[in-house]
């Protein structure tokens, strides 16, 4: 189960998020560092929300799939964040965020997703009915 701090009650469509026309801005990393302890990811071989950016960094050699994504992450692209329960959470860009932590960045490029766009980025539920 997703931690309540980051659980919006639905899944988002990352492709829809990336298509939002939003301005990018630099924010102080200190405004987002609480995200380093939230389990956004799944450990190798599991199907659960059980890996935070901090734990990924600690187990970098064992989490090879995520490690490769962190190493390939391009920090010139912003992460997408959303204000949830009074704090900024990451909607897209956890691997870029993790790389920024590892690099000791003081700021990070973000796009802030306003509430008015939330319905438009929800992932559509697949129908369980077979095509007839």
- pLDDT tens digits, 37-93: 999 999 988 888 899 999 999 999 999 999 999 999 999 999 999 999 999 999 999
- Expressed as residue numbers, the domain containing 101 is 14-119
Query: Across residues 11-34, what is the average pLDDT?
Result: 95
Half-sphere exposure in the Cβ direction for 13 (13 Å, CA): 14
> Looking at residue 82, which CATH number applies to its domain?
3.90.1530
Query: Within a domain: residue 88?
Result: yes
Q: Is 27 part of any domain? A: yes
The number of distinct structural domains making up the chain is 1
- With respect to residue 71, please indicate whether it lies within any of the assigned structural domains: yes
35 inside domain: yes
The C-alpha angle with vertex 25 and arms to 23 and 26, in degrees rounded to 5, equals 170
Q: Beta-carbon neighbour count of residue 107 at 10 Å? A: 14
Phi-psi category of residue 85: left, alpha or beta, with phi > 0 → left and psi -120 to 50 → alpha: left
Residue at 8 is within a domain: no
Please report whether residue 43 resides in a domain. yes
Q: Could you tell me if 111 and 80 are in contact, meaning their C-beta atoms sit under 8 angstroms apart? A: yes
Predicted TM-score (pTM) of this structure: 0.90
């Amino acid at each position: 189960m997703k931690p309540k701090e980051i659980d919006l009650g639905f899944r988002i469509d990352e492709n829809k998020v990336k298509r939002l026309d939003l301005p990018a801005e630099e924010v102080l990393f200190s405004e987002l560092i609480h995200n380093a302890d939230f389990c956004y990811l799944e450990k190798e071989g599991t199907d659960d929300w059980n890996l935070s950016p901090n734990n990924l960094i600690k187990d970098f050699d064992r989490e090879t799939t995520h490690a490769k994504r962190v190493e390939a992450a391009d920090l010139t692209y912003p992460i997408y964040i959303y204000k949830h329960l009074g704090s900024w959470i990451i909607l897209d860009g956890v691997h870029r965020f993790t790389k920024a932590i590892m690099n000791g960045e003081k700021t990070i490029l973000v796009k802030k997703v306003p509430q008015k766009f939330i319905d438009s980025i929800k992932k559509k539920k697949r129908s369980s009915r077979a095509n007839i």
